[in-house]
Structure 1
Amino acid sequence: MPEQASFSLPSSSSPSPSDSVSFVSAVLDLHRDTVAGWHEREPDNPYEGLLATICHQHQFNFLLWHEEDVARSHDVTDARIAMVKRAIDGYNQNRNDWIERIDEAIIESLGEAGVSPQNDAGLNTETPGSAIDRLSIMSLRIFHLEEQLDRDDVDQAHREKVTERIDRCRLQLADLSNSLSELLADLFAGEKLLKVYRQMKMYNDATLNPYLYNKAA
């Protein structure tokens, strides 16, 4: 990726997640703007506060996306594929680690706001960090689908298929955004609980992956 030092995003402070609609709107802007910018320069992070954490998590999805593209190429060497696979494992681990950090930051915000869950508050099936991760991936999918519309080597049928997929992705993005806004509003109203669920992936731990510890022995 060529770097263009003359272009950078303006620094942006984090809106409070307690203002759920404004916060989710800022997250969507961050995902959209950085995906477009990072295709012209090295990934950067000009944000502050919780948005900086979200941007950092988003970077790993961006890097992971493009390594996945290489992994499906048939004209690269086995050695290159091995390098890509190791990169994918690393980016995916970091992606999940930073989902947890987003949730930890939101729990901290709940504490700072003095929010106490109601006695009958229940858990959601998905944490805010996981929803933000899905929005990150969707922003990448929409960007790369829109690239398909500018190709000179495709026919109208291809463009119509891509347009249909873009419309579906935008609908999913809107639905997930609304659900995230509602979840955050419920959390700050004390109507929902938030816990950090650790991924605890075993394959990256040399003491838990049988192939690794048996080979070492």
Structure 2
Amino acid sequence: MNFTQKAWNIFNESIGHYHQFNDVNKTIENPYDESQLIEHLLYKKNWIDTVQWHLEDIIRDPNIDPVEALKLKRWIDKSNQERTDMVEYVDSWFLQQNAGVEVKTGAKINTESPAWAIDRYSILSLKVYHMQEEATRADASEEHKTQCQNKLNILLEQHKDLSTAIEELLEDISAGRKYMKVYKQMKMYNDEDLNPVLYKNK
């Protein structure tokens, strides 16, 4: 089994576990301990994405209480930071895996790191899951289900293409044809020293 197949299976395992409860307050029960580091990280990454997916649905309720909406917005901000942290952990794992690779002369850096591609892959797994739900929803019109099935077909094609692209990137890195760097995201809006709204109120 290649890396993307493993990741896709773990992402769908996480999504399936979440939807047994369908509750954003459900605490993660990661079936992979830290001795299975990459599996542990991939599961946790997708769980964060899955909870945030549903938070984004909830906050769009036109009748939501404004105070509750602000709490959710801050929760989403916190989730975004956790998501970014998880991407950096996954990239650190990739760096460690390829620490002994001799980078070839003329090797190029990719536009995004492997973990940021995996981030898109995790979100894609959620799109596929929920579009499949809509394409088969019993109370939906046939027109709705047909439109969603057409969108699902495109998402499945994207899954195939993104899987191929990620595998090629990982192969290029392991062969020294490409190299990677991990840049800390340096988000400013959560930093009391960098967000002017925060540091002016210290």
TM > 0.5 fold call: yes
Distance 2:46 2:200 in 1: 35
Q: Specify the alignment match of 1:130 in structure 2.
A: 116
Q: Specify the alignment match of 2:6 in structure 1.
A: 26
TM-score by length of 2: 0.92
Name the amino acid aligned to 2:124: M
Structure 1 residue 144 displacement after superposition? 0.9
For residues 118-139 of structure 1, give each alpha carbon's deviation from its aligned partner in whole angstroms, at most 9, with x where no partner exists.
1211100111101111010011
Q: Percent identity?
A: 34
Residue among 44, 58, 69 paired with 2:29: 44
Q: Specify the alignment match of 1:8 in structure 2.
A: none
Contact 2:137 2:145 survives alignment (8 Å): no
Residue among 34, 44, 47 paired with 1:56: 44
SS at match of 2:98: helix
Name the amino acid aligned to 1:87: W
Name the amino acid aligned to 1:192: K
**Where in structure 2 are there 5+ consecutive unaligned residues?**
none
The yes-or-no answer on 1:120 pairing with 2:99 is no
Q: Specify the alignment match of 2:74 in structure 1.
A: 86
Contact 2:128 2:155 survives alignment (8 Å): yes
The yes-or-no answer on 1:151 pairing with 2:137 is yes
Structure 1 residue 88 displacement after superposition? 0.4
Q: Specify the alignment match of 2:128 in structure 1.
A: 142
The yes-or-no answer on 1:161 pairing with 2:147 is yes
Distance 1:119 1:150 in 2: 52
- What is the root-mean-square deviation in Å for CA atoms of aligned residues? 1.2
Residue among 94, 103, 119 paired with 2:91: 103
Name the amino acid aligned to 2:135: L
Q: Specify the alignment match of 1:187 in structure 2.
A: 173
For residues 153-210 of structure 1, give each alpha carbon's deviation from its aligned partner in whole angstroms, at most 9, with x where no partner exists.
3211100110011001111111011000000000000111110021111000011100
Structure 1 residue 44 displacement after superposition? 2.4
Distance 1:152 1:29 in 2: 26
Distance 1:89 1:61 in 2: 12
Contact 1:36 1:143 survives alignment (8 Å): no
Structure 1 residue 46 displacement after superposition? 1.4
Distance 1:117 1:63 in 2: 39
Q: Which moved more, 1:49-58 or 1:159-168?
A: 49-58
For residues 48-75 of structure 1, give each alpha carbon's deviation from its aligned partner in whole angstroms, at most 9, with x where no partner exists.
2212112212121111111100111012
**Where in structure 1 are there 5+ consecutive unaligned residues?**
1-20
Name the amino acid aligned to 2:145: R
TM-score by length of 1: 0.86
